[in-house]
Structure 1
Amino acid sequence: MKTRLAPTAPAAVAAQSITKTYGSGATKVAALNDVSVSFRPGDFTAIMGPSGSGKSTLMHCLAGLDTVNSGQVAIGKTVITGMSDHELTILRRKHVGFIFQAFNLVPTLSARDNILLPLDLAGAKVDQPWFDQIVATLGLADRLAHHPHELSGGQQQRVAVARALLTRPDVVFADEPTGALDSTTGAEVLQLLAGSARDMGQTIIMVTHDPHAAAYADNVVLLKDGAIVGRVEDPTADAVLAALAELGA
């Protein structure tokens, strides 16, 4: 069983009464409706719900990739609501990592250079022991000179995970990170994410539609119609399936 920080520890990410709407008049849609939720430091949390429930919108707002109409979002002790694009870019560069379904690797760069890209953009030095630890943990030591087209899908996603972890971000957002992978490779990536939370203290927030993927998390936040409707602690695939069934998902 994972040891969690005391409830008094500041949240890694928190949203307070956030709303997000698209369109206007008769076409106005509330993607998020007065959502308040917090994520504990070092936890691996999955966000789930029926199609159109607001999962990706919530993640994008939490990460500062999208703005909210009202309410407040904070990453650690920093309130990001109202920040300029430049301020958000600097904050994300230092405190946030991203893992996407499409990998988003630069095809002309080697695996090593793809991993180091955030540091290069920031003009920061490489913490070589940390780089070596991540590469060893992810089993990439013998693939660093390879370009993306020379790597399997699972290896490409491992490079993306390494890139996300290298800057020691406070939180890593993962948007359907196993959606383009076969079940075996997907399980390997999920094990790596769970290990990152458990062994490296990373806070992982993952959007997924897959109950088996969610079972790797410490807890699952459930959305429906743009609102938080429940949370499953220490989830199993069966427990998540049952919770989704109650939502009509």
Structure 2
Amino acid sequence: MQAADSAVGVQPAVSAVDLVKVYGSGQTAVRALDGVTIGLDAGRFTAIMGPSGSGKSTLMHCLAGLDTATSGTVSIGGTDLTKLSDRQLTVLRRERVGFVFQAFNLMPTLTAEQNILLPLELAGTTPDRAWVKSLVDVLGLADRLRHRPSELSGGQQQRVAVARALVSRPDVVFADEPTGNLDSRTGAEVLSFLRQSVRELGQTIVMVTHDPVAASYADRVVLVADGRLVSELEDPTPDTVIDAMRKLGA
């Protein structure tokens, strides 16, 4: 089944229509996405899950403009990514999209504060110091701003990455296995802040995860198998996610 689009008349934060992604050609071609249509509402936390090789990471990469679709359309805030030049796509990702990765992807020579402010520096925009302070305070980073990544724990590095993703107030934040390198307690802290940023700041978050507990922090879980959307859950719990994944043979 295809997941339902957003409510009639409401512009989704992120959407795809008949999205196909094929890697390779001829007999070696792999159809990673096979006609995906989906709408992800603004101000909600959506988790994408599925068995290994299901296409969940490919879906997120196409939705985020990190990978190009073979056919179909992808839109962020009403802007069709498939019609943008490489330069326009780079600008859109920089100004309207935030990213949180499993490997943190911080610049090792920069301090925590410099890493947080990097998207604004690249965009040539002036930081909103009150907003930056609120992120730093909520994430518990005030006494770590002068530290470089090598001087921070894994959890602190990921909190810096989350602050960096949110500092420009993007239309949407994409998180790819954001707790994959964290212990369960630290992972729960990061997920709680992502959840808080949705509820209190109106942020839109799309997260790929294999962890049912991580997925339970989301408002909605979209399940992918064999490059297609097969089901979804509203207000998930770890148990309902485990049951749904078990039905997929994961």
- The unaligned stretches of length 5 or more in structure 1 are none
Following superposition, the deviation at residue 7 of structure 1 comes to 5.5
Query: Where does 1:29-40 land on structure 2 (aligned, <5 Å)?
Result: 29-40=30-41
SS of match in other structure, 1:21:
strand
Query: Which residue in the other structure is 1:166 paired with?
Result: 167
Query: Where does 1:94-243 land on structure 2 (aligned, <5 Å)?
Result: 94-243=95-244
Kindly provide the amino acid, as one letter, of the partner of residue 58 in structure 1: L
How far apart, CA to CA, are the structure 1 residues paired with 2:7 and 2:38?
17
SS of match in other structure, 1:19:
strand
1:104-148 superposed Cα distances (whole Å, 9 cap, x missing partner): 011111000000001111111010111111111111111111111
How far apart, CA to CA, are the structure 2 residues paired with 1:170 and 1:236?
26
Percent pairwise identity? 64
SS of match in other structure, 2:9:
coil
How far apart, CA to CA, are the structure 2 residues paired with 1:24 and 1:110?
44
Query: Which residue in the other structure is 1:58 paired with?
Result: 59
How far apart, CA to CA, are the structure 2 residues paired with 1:78 and 1:213?
30
Query: Where does 1:6-17 land on structure 2 (aligned, <5 Å)?
Result: 8-17=9-18
Kindly provide the amino acid, as one letter, of the partner of residue 15 in structure 1: A
How far apart, CA to CA, are the structure 1 residues paired with 2:97 and 2:109?
24
Kindly report structure 1 stretches of 4+ aligned residues shifted beyond 3 Å. 5-8
1:54-111 superposed Cα distances (whole Å, 9 cap, x missing partner): 0110000001111111110000111111311110011111110000000001111100
> Cα 1:51–1:126, aligned 2, differ >3 Å: closer, same or farther?
same
How far apart, CA to CA, are the structure 1 residues paired with 2:245 and 2:50?
7
SS of match in other structure, 1:81:
helix
Kindly provide the amino acid, as one letter, of the partner of residue 225 in structure 2: K
Query: Which residue in the other structure is 1:46 paired with?
Result: 47
How far apart, CA to CA, are the structure 1 residues paired with 2:249 and 2:146?
47
Task: Give the superposed CA RMSD.
Answer: 1.0
Query: Which residue in the other structure is 1:67 paired with?
Result: 68
Following superposition, the deviation at residue 9 of structure 1 comes to 2.4
1:161-187 superposed Cα distances (whole Å, 9 cap, x missing partner): 000000000000000000000111001
How far apart, CA to CA, are the structure 1 residues paired with 2:9 and 2:159?
33
Query: Which residue in the other structure is 2:3 paired with?
Result: none
Query: TM-score, length-normalised on structure 1?
Result: 0.97
How far apart, CA to CA, are the structure 2 residues paired with 1:122 and 1:151?
26
Across the two proteins, how many residue pairs are aligned to each other? 245
How far apart, CA to CA, are the structure 2 residues paired with 1:92 and 1:21?
23
